Structure 1
Amino acid sequence: MEIVGLGYMGLESKNTEGWRTYAPEVLGMAVRPSDGPALLLRMDDRNHRIAIRPGDRDRLSYIGWELLNRPAWEEALQILAAEGYAPEIADPGLREERAVHAMAWIHGPDDVRHEFYYGHGFDSHTFLPGRPHNGFVTGEGGFGHVVLTVPAWTDELNHFIEDVLKFKWFGSGADTGKRRFYRPRRNHRTHAIGYSIVPGVLGLQHVGIEVHDLDDVGIAYDRVLERGDPLMATLGRHTQDPVISFYAFTPSGFPLEYINAGVEDSEVHPFVEGKPESLSIWGHKFNPDAPKPSTMYSAAESVTSDS
């Protein structure tokens, strides 16, 4: 399966209004005008990258995987069907909502709705950041990464990620047996999806987005501190994927990692893909008073979306 990258994601939130200022003023995203209930956030010339819809809880609704073109999309559907996943084809209304040529979706063994699409709408030279900003790293690498929480790493989930989606394993950081990171084969990022293994728990653990300029990380960090938003981890540089980043809680109760200078696939070498003994070279001090992400829930409760 030739997945390009993480193309978009959808969230349900109890606090969509909080995003109207947080997304542009802290993150530098643009809020796209919308006639519907969804708050659409832009990071580049694409129609949107993140859609946030009002709801009675905070949760991940879906993640969208971009295919290169229609033949690649049709091949992906054949692979999914052959593996017993029976993809459902989006109707015209849902295609318009996602702003894509075609889309199909399945419920994965991680209790997440995975959408597969091609032809994402865009309008060249129209992205205007919400604050002075040097831009986000998107393009063929997708818009970033998402880390999900699962109660166990099962054979079914391993088969889905490695054999069905054909994702490449990157590593597990300093927490062997507790984390796993993957990327699509044609993706330059070290990882587009990760899994945090916590017994009895499912849901969204965090989202990562990357910017071109380190100063934009520093400005966002200052604004988080000025607002008094809770941090999950302070500014620091990771060991295995040596980015500089910090983790702060969003208005929807999950942490967002704000990143600069990730390594690309061509730069990954055995040392980076090995087993680091520490999470970070410096910084990333975890806040002992940080709340549990509200987008995580008991594994006995399924909240996968059909919308």
Structure 2
Amino acid sequence: MGVRSLGYLRLESTDIEKWKLFGGDFLGLMPVEGGSAESLYFRLDGYPPRIAVSPGAQDRMTALGFEVLDERELAGLVADVEKAGIKVSAGTEAEAQERRVTGFVRFSDPGGNPVELFYGPVLDHVPVSTPLVSKFVTGDMGMGHAIVSAEDARVTFDFYVNVLGFIERNTMRSPDGSTTWFMGCNPRHHTLGITPMPGPGRLLHFMVEGETLDDVGRALDRAAKYEVPMMHSLGKHTNDHMVSFYVWSPENYAVEFGWNGLQVPEPVPVYEITDGAFWGHNFTPPPQPAG
């Protein structure tokens, strides 16, 4: 029993119009209609929208959506989360319909990150159309991975491993001595990362993976075409061996477009990395507000 994959991200943005270009024209996701006329919805594959962006008074993640097997498994996880002292609320039928899932619950993890556990995606059987990308690597591995923050990263890491069933893959120690944990829940090397930062937990980074190296190259071309600000140049990671580059989203999330990420079908011993990249991934700070 445990989380199966990262199913979706729900975001609020103070400038939702920028997401039309960023999500569709740059990332190559498929824009679709959804339950709210004011929101943007993007598909990557045969699932319902994997990313939903709604207008908001601040830039923030409103849900990190993890898929579980079925209603019975969801009930078991709810009991485990409540035993850990965390209050869980059931989503309404209208909210489930808007997410196009059969049922879901919500709670905040120990770091303060908003989490939803869902089961039963409602499929519309309309083939996905991503003409800018040959195919996104999803399936049983979900939409990709995400990195979030927590003031007490160790406690939050323990919650994901001991309560939600994640498996530790590797760690990385920062120069200040703090540790970032990378965890998996399926063959994708990592689905979630937890890094220590002051204040309430928040989304720092998410990744989508293309099926071919050409998908990465063409995405680089689109980043230049649309003047999407670069964060990390093309490089290869030491932990999941992914060849990728990063850009800054409209809200300054680190968004990675990658290829050929390491898959770990069976548990392997954990390890610590001392550098994030074998080569490349040179850093550029986020753009500063005008004025």
Task: Determine if the TM-score, normalized by the shorter chain, exceeds 0.5.
Answer: yes
Q: Distance in 2 between matches of 1:88 and 1:31?
A: 30
Q: Which residue in 2 is equivalent to 1:280?
A: 277
Alignment-mate amino acid for residue 196 of structure 2: I
Q: What is the CA deviation profile of residues 173-228 of structure 1, one whole-angstrom value per residue up to 9, with x for unaligned ones?
A: 464733111122xx111111101223457421111111111111111111112222
1:285 shift after superposition: 0.5
Alignment-mate amino acid for residue 286 of structure 1: F
SS at 2:135 equivalent: coil
- Asked if structure 2 preserves the Cα contact closer than 8 Å seen for 1:245 and 1:258, the reply is yes
Q: Which residue in 1 is equivalent to 2:246?
A: 247
Determine whether 1:233 maps to 2:241: no
Q: Which residue in 1 is equivalent to 2:16?
A: 16
1:29 shift after superposition: 0.4
TM-score (norm 2): 0.91
Q: Distance in 2 between matches of 1:207 and 1:99?
A: 22
Alignment-mate amino acid for residue 87 of structure 1: V
Q: Distance in 2 between matches of 1:228 and 1:267?
A: 41
SS at 1:126 equivalent: coil
Q: Which residue in 2 is equivalent to 1:290?
A: 286
Q: What is the CA deviation profile of residues 240-263 of structure 1, one whole-angstrom value per residue up to 9, with x for unaligned ones?
A: 210001110112321201110111
Q: Distance in 2 between matches of 1:87 and 1:201?
A: 18
Alignment-mate amino acid for residue 166 of structure 2: F
Q: Distance in 1 between matches of 2:249 and 2:87?
A: 34
More displaced 10-residue stretch of structure 1: 107-116 or 197-206? 197-206
Q: Distance in 2 between matches of 1:84 and 1:201?
A: 18
SS at 2:265 equivalent: helix
More displaced 10-residue stretch of structure 1: 196-205 or 31-40? 196-205
Q: Which residue in 2 is equivalent to 1:38?
A: 39
Q: Distance in 1 between matches of 2:247 and 2:140?
A: 26
Q: Distance in 2 between matches of 1:135 and 1:51?
A: 20
1:20 shift after superposition: 1.4
The 1:151–1:35 alpha-carbon spacing in structure 2 relative to 1, beyond 3 Å, is: closer
Q: Which residue in 1 is equivalent to 2:78?
A: 77
Identity across matched positions, percent? 29
1:121 shift after superposition: 1.6
Q: Distance in 1 between matches of 2:117 and 2:212?
A: 31
Q: Which residue in 2 is equivalent to 1:28?
A: 28
Alignment-mate amino acid for residue 135 of structure 2: G
- Give the count of matched residue pairs: 286
Q: Which residue in 1 is equivalent to 2:192?
A: 193
The 1:50–1:77 alpha-carbon spacing in structure 2 relative to 1, beyond 3 Å, is: same
Alignment-mate amino acid for residue 214 of structure 2: D
Q: Distance in 2 between matches of 1:230 and 1:132?
A: 19
Residue ranges of structure 2 left out of the alignment (5+ in a row) = none
Q: Distance in 2 between matches of 1:139 and 1:181?
A: 20
Q: Distance in 2 between matches of 1:78 and 1:292?
A: 45
Q: Distance in 1 between matches of 2:273 and 2:54?
A: 39
Any runs of at least 4 consecutive aligned residues in structure 1 with deviations exceeding 6 A, and if so which? none
Q: Distance in 1 between matches of 2:16 and 2:242?
A: 29
SS at 2:129 equivalent: coil
1:86 shift after superposition: 3.0
TM-score (norm 1): 0.87
Q: Distance in 2 between matches of 1:249 and 1:136?
A: 20
SS at 2:271 equivalent: coil
The 1:107–1:17 alpha-carbon spacing in structure 2 relative to 1, beyond 3 Å, is: same
Q: Which residue in 2 is equivalent to 1:160?
A: 159
